[in-house]
Amino acid sequence: MVWAPDYRAEYVRRIELIQAADADAKTAKALKRVYKEDCALFVNDMGITYDPRLIDKFPPFMLFKRQGEYLQFLEELEKAQESGLVEKCRDMGFTWLSVAKAVHKWLFFAGSNIGFGSRKENLVDKIGDADSILEKARMMICELPAFLKPYGLDENALSFMKIINPENGSIIKGEAGDNIGRGGRSEMYFKDESAHYERPEKIEAGLSMNTRVQIDISSVNGPGNVFYRRRHNGVIWEPGKAMPKGKTWVFIADWRDDPRKSQDWYDTTKKKYEDEGLAHIFAQEIDRDYSASLEKICIPAIWVRACIDAHKILANRKFANIDDDIKRAEETAKFLAEFETGKCWAGQDLADGGIDKNGLLIRKGVIVKYAEEWGGKADMAAVHAIPICIEHGVNNIQFDSIGVGTSFLTECNIMSKAGTLPSAIEVVGWNAGAGVINPEKHMIYNADGTPEKTSPKNEDYFANLKAQAWWSLRTRVWKTYKAINFGVEYPHEDLIVIPSDLPSRESLIVQLSQATYDPNGKGKIVIDKAPDGASSPNLADATVMSYFPVKKPRGVFDV
């Protein structure tokens, strides 16, 4: 059910609260005291927003869960003096929330200085235009009850590009384009839609010495830009999670976090975009798909997202017409178990040094069971990964054997001699630059199992093992996408499932859709895992290794 706030009841509650404050100075003072300590409470009690689609275009701000968590995120950034990034879909209210945070600081903390920037001046401030950022702040300030408004507030205080609190000297200021960060120091600076800036590096230079707390807020705009790099080198924040120092804290605002939106809304809106030939815009703005605007993406993110809980979606569809609850549950359980049939595989990608990371992915059958990235040298990766593999019952570990991979194997041999690496686990080197497997095998087969002779052979189509393996994963993800969206039936072993509760789900999805493909001089497919400006997709590489064995483990007859 879609969340529908009761504005009538909220108006009544707020009127009673304001009347109580107006009637009693002690109540007003007490409210100011608690509002200063609790920004979310202040917003829930006194904040307003703007929505021209409503009859009352200035409804009261009524925070839903993820919005409240965003205010908590900002508070933790402020206390830690770290920078953050918000990757969001459209229409989530996060610009308004950022303005509300700035107004809260402006009201209750003397001498505060909060900055806002965007790519164009009229997006930052345009008097009378509620779409501009500082006009949102003016609206929120003007709608405050009298007991909260600063003494001496007038039009001069609410000037263009600078809003001054005449009582305590606090400032909310705006800057645009290349001038962002040039207007003096700020204790907190919000960069709106920062993935869309024309010269982001120049802006970074301007801000670098002017604020310790920089918050980039944006819908996505492809890989290779500063926003993309900061997002994928950062650490995803969640309430209660311990966060590292010196890293960008990343806040994810998915459409599913908005209780005003339902699956029916998603499907209906998506179809409208598709009917207008704008599916890539929907993918970028709603699904936060960095690859939506790129050509020759090996595994489009829209395919990858279809893999989230795919087995459960297929089960619900398959057994929906069984009226007997017990029988339906039994058939569903058997069906889901098929997706975990078989050996447990692990792929281990190794850090090449610098900021590169180690990546481990474990699958049971076709379901991803574990995924993790961590820093550190490759020779210590085995010490971290092997106990995790033992815990998950892994039968076969395939590791990146090129370069630093030799140190991983050396450590595995040491662990094997010491008895800390069970003999039941096979450790197999995976050479991305090696020749293809089954080079004479055709890529397409007929329904009766015979090869389609007109289709290319593996050796004719792929430049190396890496290209073949990535394409194999592409095919697996594509089949899952077709099964979910078009009802095409495939054997479960041809699919891939990414659990919705996988902690690193979002990083995995982004990385899987990062690689591009292109023919080389000989017409064979090559894979570019890290297009210009992108980091190495460690989890994606580990996934490719895990789902594309180069050696059959003991006791396995076919893969």
Question: pLDDT per residue over 320-343, tens digit each?
Answer: 899 999 999 999 999 999 999 999
pLDDT for 376: 83
Residues in the chain, pLDDT under 70: 1-3, 53, 183, 275-278, 293-295, 353-354, 453-454, 521, 531-534, 552-559
> What pLDDT is stored for residue 166 in this prediction?
94
Can you tell me the distance from the alpha carbon of 495 to that of 488, in angstroms, rounded to the nearest whole number? Answer: 12
- How confident is the model over 541-550, as pLDDT tens digits? 999 999 999 8
Per residue in 518-532, pLDDT (tens digit) is 877 677 889 988 766
| CA pseudo-torsion sign 50, 55, 59, 63 | negative
Q: Are strands 84-88 and 113-118 parallel, antiparallel or unpaired?
A: unpaired
Q: Look up the CATH architecture of domain 7-257.
A: 3-Layer(aba) Sandwich (3.40)
> Domain spans of the chain?
7-257, 294-547
| pTM value surpassing 0.85 | no
Task: Give the count of alpha carbons within 13 A of 155, CB side only.
Answer: 2
**Calpha distance 61→42 (Å, rounded):** 10
How high is the pLDDT of residue 525? 86
For the beta carbon of residue 142, count every other beta carbon within 10 angstroms: 12
Task: Give ∠ CA 197-201-206 in degrees, rounded to 5.
Answer: 100
Measure the CA angle with vertex 122, ends 119 and 124; round to 5°.
Answer: 65
| CATH number given to 294-547 | 3.30.420.240
